[in-house]
Amino acid sequence: MDATTLELIILPAGILAVLFALYLARDVLRRDAGTQAMQDVAATILEGAVAFIRRQYTTIAILALFGAVILTAVISLVDTQAVAETDIYGLDLGIRTGIAFLVGAACSMASGVIGMYIAVKANVRTASAAQRSLVEAVQVAMRGGAVSGFLVVALSLLGVYGMFVAMGGLEHPAQAPFLIVGFGFGASFVALFAQLGGGIYTKAADVGADLVGKVEAGIPEDDPRNAAVIADLVGDNVGDCAGRGADLFESTAAENIGAMILGVAVYGIALRLGWPNPQAWIFFPLVVRSFGLLATMISMFTIRGREDADPMGMLNRGYWVTTALSAMALAFVTYVMMSGTNGQTGANGIPIWVYFFGAGLVGLATSIVFVYITQYYTSGAWRPVKEIAEASKTGPATNIISGVAVGFETTAVTAIAIVIALFASFWLGEQAGLVNIAGSNVGGVFGTAVATMGMLMTTAYILAMDTFGPITDNAGGIAEFSRAESKARDITDRLDAVGNTTKALTKGYAIASASLAAFLLFSAYIDRVNLILLRQGRDLMESVNLASINVFLAAFIASMVVYFFSSLAIRAVGTAASAIIVEVRRQFREMPGIMDYTQKPDYARVVDITTRAALREMILPGLVAVFAPVVVGLLLGYEAVAGFLMVGTISGVLLATVLNNSGGAWDNAKKYIESGNLRDAAGNVLGKKSEPHAAAVVGDTVGDPFKDTAGPSLHVLVKLFATITLVLAPLFVR
Amino acid sequence: MDATTLELIILPAGILAVLFALYLARDVLRRDAGTQAMQDVAATILEGAVAFIRRQYTTIAILALFGAVILTAVISLVDTQAVAETDIYGLDLGIRTGIAFLVGAACSMASGVIGMYIAVKANVRTASAAQRSLVEAVQVAMRGGAVSGFLVVALSLLGVYGMFVAMGGLEHPAQAPFLIVGFGFGASFVALFAQLGGGIYTKAADVGADLVGKVEAGIPEDDPRNAAVIADLVGDNVGDCAGRGADLFESTAAENIGAMILGVAVYGIALRLGWPNPQAWIFFPLVVRSFGLLATMISMFTIRGREDADPMGMLNRGYWVTTALSAMALAFVTYVMMSGTNGQTGANGIPIWVYFFGAGLVGLATSIVFVYITQYYTSGAWRPVKEIAEASKTGPATNIISGVAVGFETTAVTAIAIVIALFASFWLGEQAGLVNIAGSNVGGVFGTAVATMGMLMTTAYILAMDTFGPITDNAGGIAEFSRAESKARDITDRLDAVGNTTKALTKGYAIASASLAAFLLFSAYIDRVNLILLRQGRDLMESVNLASINVFLAAFIASMVVYFFSSLAIRAVGTAASAIIVEVRRQFREMPGIMDYTQKPDYARVVDITTRAALREMILPGLVAVFAPVVVGLLLGYEAVAGFLMVGTISGVLLATVLNNSGGAWDNAKKYIESGNLRDAAGNVLGKKSEPHAAAVVGDTVGDPFKDTAGPSLHVLVKLFATITLVLAPLFVR
């Protein structure tokens, strides 16, 4: 079998994954939908979620249309024949870029909507299954999550491949990757607003519901008397499902395109040296991801266990199976696609493919390392969460101080893991000895690209686990809301705790992939800028010189934008939550029958208020994110943009780490206390309703916008920086 | 008058400033020391402060001796004849560097100790004066603060000049600046541990005293029944006085030396072009600072006013006088020292000195801008603090979320101001047209150096205002503790509020100077590395290439170290505060007479516990700060170190901004509520003891370690990065 044969797998693998998602969706949908009470609340949630998504995606679609028009105009005007790196330029290129942008945006929106729709359907079926069996509940929730996982990854694969073919990639493989960068930008653009809007919605509803319900009225979480409770349940779906789906859609798309651009450099070497299948280096990212999808499909059937098994154990088994199969597939793909080198070897006579196989393994290993780092810092079994719980004994202030200290601390091991992974994959790539005509070793950067692709092989599984979180969370809410029997509550509680862990893991995975991909994406930008400079006969950009004032100032601004964007996102949650609090208070006051269940609160009004507030609040941070790199590029030039991108990525990754992990740790410190693990000096349990618990609730609330709004939005932000600069490179090179 | 004449001012100005400090000290000391009760508590505070400083400085001295020995050994071994940029190398250079390090360390310690001693003496005299007159109290507090201000700046000026002369600067001006970099490193080294130890001490005592006293026992702040109250009062002196003094000592020293190194490049141009006084470009920083000292001395006599005047107004008047005199002096100094250019002009035929005068004005203006930015974000009159106070209505969680959002937001205007200042001073410098033999325009970087020197002209005044803060804070504590009459309390309360503002301003000033100096210090590092490379006949470092993997990884690590260091500093406060809480609780339990004033708490024991905890906790973050750049340099090389330095500075400056300003805003949101400015929907005042006030107290406590431990320590950290890399450059160039 040779590389050209292997390339044929992409389309069937993508289609198979879509069919598999449909099969899973059908499997979920034909399951028992629970009691009438459950179905009623599920219908209300679906209604609220659809209402929000419809309005949100209408807004995003309008923004995207504007974006596409502006993009088309800008590219048509600046990417003239004199500038263009390919023989497609001007209006032709502008229209193609605009279309790619819209297709990327549409694919992202489609995968978000469908995934969320199935997740909402899976919620109530999980609640229903929990009345009967833990294993069945796990399966329903995981399959519901997998619909999202497979759709997102398959649509991103098919979308990138489809655009590549449409732009003539089969005939001119070295040209097409540059023509489809608009696809990645479209995906990032949608992801940013989806994550921001969804993140603001979910946390505003959560914080609002908690503050009026639990704190002021003294009623439990998810109590039907709380007018914000439906909005809260809706929020889990629109924030966690749709938002994270869009996040990983754009990650896979942008990183795939970036890796193909780097593949072009190796293609040039392979062509010059007369290697049999030079295009294999460009197709590699698509092929390896196809195999990742196949590996994940197989592993879905391994999620089973006894009734008394640990649900996390079941999910972990599936993850390990996915990883093991991916490693084997990686060996196969690198061997087939990279061994046609006419006998040329890397350092020490070792075949070139072996080095890149090693780099891919580094990527797979990095995702495992991040799974454990996240567990250490955010699960109750270890020192950090215990420390925060202990600090709660002296009140909310020490709880917060301790959580911030833990959040800051997590950057250390995160950064070290990333530095080692980047260094190792770069080093392995360099050993492959791929030297271009200018004498530079392009293998190092390509090594980091292969590591990223290795890591992305398991994305569908990770995303399925992630969506498992909000599904079980909602299932618990539905069980509570519909006053289901206690067995169902017990099972959904256990699954909810597991879901918290899987949600945290996904954020670690998203951070790790953003960091691994960072180098790849800068390099793609630099490659593109240099192709333009070459065409213009100008000196190439040989370095991104931090000691030049423009680059330094751009770096300063980038680091600031990361904070400013987070400030806007966090404040947006506060503003939207205030609107909810006012409304719920009003309902308690004006509808006195609510408290004794004789009156039904007006859930729809709170849903509506939350929707409007979230949509209003997502605009400003979104525009800051889009315009900041453009303004820097126009004022300070293309080299400064590279500095902006690099330092913005570093700052964004680290601040997201701080926000995600402190938030997760606060959440679990509260759960740790609720589970009765905290004791005073005399050995008495300090559990629910104790002073330390009240302090821990404060920490948990502070962590909400950190970990579910600002943190995840930062993942998207750093990748948006990468795609927007890649697309607009011709604007900055003037 | 020509440049050589003007250079003669340095020594007299420095000595005059020392004499002026002694005069002020004598003036403060001969004032009325208050009632016997006041004198008793002041004596206790002095005892605690001296005990801490003695032990802290003993520890620091031991660390510094170790540091000097290691430094001498390293420089002796690596800075061999083959490497050295001057004709002093090997053991000779090692010993000189070690001595410079120790002299820098000793000067820093001396100015810290003397300044703190006078401040403690001024506390009680301010309290006493407050019994009679507001104006007198302001004068005593400001003069007490000015002792620190003048000593710190004068010792740094005399120290740098003395080392410069001792290293043969009068004969070989182009060589000496490189030989005295050890002085700056010694000063930074002491500053780091002084600020860390003092910052941990002061906030651990503050948080500990508040949590047991105000929260648990329900007794007011500074109540004599609280065993931690003396430690709290001691903390203000050791943290705010000694710590900030050491911080600004090393800022002025390091930035002065860096500016002289950049002056060497201009010296080369002046020498080649046969300008009359080439050495003037190297002496310029020393001369301009001398004039800054003279301007500040004059302005000290303008601090007066009517009894009913606003004390902040009196201090502001003095500041404006200092700034105006400094601007005039700047015009004079740049004219005399930079107009001997044989008629060569800058762009548009404008004399060279005019451009640098402009750059210096940019520096003076930047400090004014920062004064207003800090006031906007941390004073109760504006939107940010009001927003936090409003958010307190829904509890501590929303108070914290709002404060974090404000803290993040402050980076925006801070970064924009810094970017504009750097850009403007760089641009002005470039217009001067100072082109070296290699064809590069060195004026840009020198422009940022002149801006930094312009800004530093007012340091003595700023530091006097800063020390005014803890003096009035302590005066209030002494008045409360000794149950002084209410007029004295009223006056000290008013002064304390002003002191909070001046303390916040100084942090803004320190941030701004660190940022303005950043470019100067990188450039000094690059100059030094290139001199070494030149000597070795190797290619010069022409850029700090962020796109090279080592530089990128170093940048990543730098940004992480900033977070990790802050985590350690914040956690240290928590750990030390816990020890205090345990002890105070024990005293309340075992000495029941404390509550009804029949038993005196054991203050000394708490002081001792705090001392030991603070000293223990300062070591780890200190070592992380010192070793991180060294390890990066050894593993990743000299170019990576430059990336580490630059991105570390950006990250450190921005995180310090977040921590300082959120802390200040939380503090003043609490004060805003206490002053009765917050009202509920019905218009009722929500003041002290209300729910929102309790929420605001949580925010204030969270902000304590942010703004007084981690934030100020970060200022020192970024400058330590600069001095350590400058000193150890020969170690990294191998």
- Is A658 part of the contact surface with chain B (CB cutoff 8 Å)? yes
Q: What is the pLDDT of residues B305-348, one digit of tens each?
A: 787 788 888 888 899 999 999 999 999 999 999 998 888 899 89
Burial B661-680, CB ≥16 within 10 A → b, else e: bbbbbbbbbbbbbbeebbee
| pLDDT reported for residue B721 | 94
d(CA B615, CA B63): 12
d(CA A508, CA A501): 11
Are A83 and A730 a contacting pair, CB within 8 Å? yes
Tell me if B401 and A705 make a contact (CB, 8 A cut-off).
Answer: yes
Alpha-carbon gap: A660 to the closest alpha carbon of chain B (Å): 15
Instruction: Evaluate if residue B98 carries a pLDDT over 90.
Output: yes
Residues in B touching A647 (Cβ below 8 Å): 546, 555, 647, 650
SS (H, E, C) A437-495: CCCCECHHHHHHHHHHHHHHCCHHHHHHHHHHHHHHHHHHHHHHHCCCCHHHHHHHHHH
d(CA A427, CA A445): 9
| pLDDT reported for residue A122 | 92
Nearest to B479 by CA among B148, B45, B116, B114: B45
- Look at chain B and count its residues: 734
Nearest to B41 by CA among B207, B222, B242: B222
What is the Cβ-side half-sphere exposure of residue B646, based on CA atoms within 13 angstroms?
A: 37
Instruction: Evaluate if residue A581 carries a pLDDT over 90.
Output: no
Tell me if A564 and B408 make a contact (CB, 8 A cut-off).
Answer: yes
Residues in B touching A429 (Cβ below 8 Å): none
Q: What is the mean pLDDT of residues B440-450?
A: 93
Are A621 and A569 a contacting pair, CB within 8 Å? yes
Question: Cα-Cα-Cα-Cα dihedral of A132, A137, A138, A144, to 10°?
Answer: 160
Instruction: Evaluate if residue B106 carries a pLDDT over 90.
Output: yes
Rounded percentage of chain B residues whose pLDDT exceeds 70? 99
Residue A84 pLDDT grade (very low, low, confident, very high; cuts 50, 70, 90): low
Q: What is the pLDDT of residues B136-190, one digit of tens each?
A: 999 999 999 999 999 999 999 999 999 999 999 999 899 899 889 999 999 999 9
Instruction: Evaluate if residue B78 carries a pLDDT over 90.
Output: no
Alpha-carbon gap: B388 to the closest alpha carbon of chain A (Å): 11
Instruction: Evaluate if residue A366 carries a pLDDT over 80.
Output: yes
Instruction: Evaluate if residue A258 carries a pLDDT over 70.
Output: yes
Q: CB under 8 Å to A532, separation ≥6 — which residues? A: A83, A84, A85, A729, A730, A733
d(CA A126, CA A135): 10
Chain centroid, CA A705 distance in Å:
16
Alpha-carbon gap: B360 to the closest alpha carbon of chain A (Å): 18
Residue with tokens 């009438």: A36
Q: What is the pLDDT of residues B342-394, one digit of tens each?
A: 888 998 999 999 999 999 999 999 999 998 888 888 877 789 999 999 999 88
Q: What is the mean pLDDT of residues B661-676?
A: 91
d(CA A638, CA A632): 9
* Beta carbons within 10 angstroms of residue B631's beta carbon: 12
d(CA A316, CA A372): 12
Tell me if A414 and B560 make a contact (CB, 8 A cut-off).
Answer: yes
- Report helix, strand or coil for B662: helix
Give the bridge partners for B685, in sequence order: B679
Q: CB under 8 Å to B13, separation ≥6 — which residues? A: B157, B290, B291, B293, B294
d(CA A511, CA A522): 16
Residue A649 pLDDT grade (very low, low, confident, very high; cuts 50, 70, 90): very high
Residue A83 pLDDT grade (very low, low, confident, very high; cuts 50, 70, 90): low
Q: CB under 8 Å to B492, separation ≥6 — which residues? A: B126, B127, B130, B137, B472, B475, B476, B479
Residues in B touching A581 (Cβ below 8 Å): 394
Residue with tokens 């905890």: B613
Nearest to A712 by CA among A541, A469, A528: A469
Instruction: Evaluate if residue B218 carries a pLDDT over 80.
Output: no
pTM over 0.90: yes
d(CA B172, CA A343): 62
Nearest to A104 by CA among A50, A148, A158, A53: A158
- Look at chain A and count its residues: 734
Instruction: Evaluate if residue B734 carries a pLDDT over 80.
Output: no
What is the Cβ-side half-sphere exposure of residue A515, based on CA atoms within 13 angstroms?
A: 35
Alpha-carbon gap: B155 to the closest alpha carbon of chain A (Å): 32
Nearest to B96 by CA among B27, B164, B147: B164
- Is A459 part of the contact surface with chain B (CB cutoff 8 Å)? no
Alpha-carbon gap: A691 to the closest alpha carbon of chain B (Å): 12
Residue A112 pLDDT grade (very low, low, confident, very high; cuts 50, 70, 90): confident
Are A517 and A256 a contacting pair, CB within 8 Å? no
- Report helix, strand or coil for A679: strand
**Cα distance from N-terminal residue to C-terminal residue, chain A:** 46
Are B510 and B247 a contacting pair, CB within 8 Å? yes
d(CA A277, CA A270): 8
d(CA B647, CA A415): 14
Portion 701-730 of B in contact with A at CB < 8 A? 701-702, 705
Residue with tokens 């003496």: B121
The CA-atom distances, in angstroms, between B20 and each of A274, A706, B152, B612 are 81, 52, 12, 36
Tell me if B398 and A574 make a contact (CB, 8 A cut-off).
Answer: yes
d(CA A483, CA A31): 21
Are B693 and B673 a contacting pair, CB within 8 Å? yes
Tell me if A408 and B702 make a contact (CB, 8 A cut-off).
Answer: no
- Is A414 part of the contact surface with chain B (CB cutoff 8 Å)? yes
Q: What is the mean pLDDT of residues A586-600?
A: 88
Question: Cα-Cα-Cα-Cα dihedral of A579, A581, A585, A586, to 10°?
Answer: 10
Are B396 and B694 a contacting pair, CB within 8 Å? yes
| pLDDT reported for residue B357 | 97
- Which residue intervals of B602-637 are DSSP H helices? 603-636
Q: Show the tokens assigned to B365.
A: 């203006």
Q: Show the tokens assigned to B104.
A: 């820098």
Of A327-336, A721-730, B91-100, B301-310, least confident by mean pLDDT is B301-310
Residue A662 pLDDT grade (very low, low, confident, very high; cuts 50, 70, 90): very high
SS (H, E, C) A164-201: HHHCCCCCCCCCHHHHCHHHHHHHHHHHHHHHHHHHHH
What is the Cβ-side half-sphere exposure of residue A290, based on CA atoms within 13 angstroms?
A: 22
| pLDDT reported for residue B581 | 87
Q: What is the pLDDT of residues B390-424, one digit of tens each?
A: 999 888 999 999 999 999 999 999 999 999 999 99
Instruction: Evaluate if residue B84 carries a pLDDT over 70.
Output: no
Tell me if A570 and B422 make a contact (CB, 8 A cut-off).
Answer: no
Tell me if B650 and A556 make a contact (CB, 8 A cut-off).
Answer: yes
Of A59-63, B210-214, B571-575, B727-731, least confident by mean pLDDT is B210-214
What angle is formed at CA A336 by the lines to CA A335 and CA A341, rounded to 5 degrees?
Answer: 80
What sign has the CA pseudo-torsion B583, B588, B590, B594?
positive
Are B520 and B459 a contacting pair, CB within 8 Å? no
Nearest to A399 by CA among A670, A584, A596: A670
* Beta carbons within 10 angstroms of residue B486's beta carbon: 9
Of A549, A563, A567, nearest to B444 by CB-CB distance is A549
Q: Show the tokens assigned to B35.
A: 């009632």
Q: What is the number of helices (H) and of strands (E) in chain B?
A: 22, 0
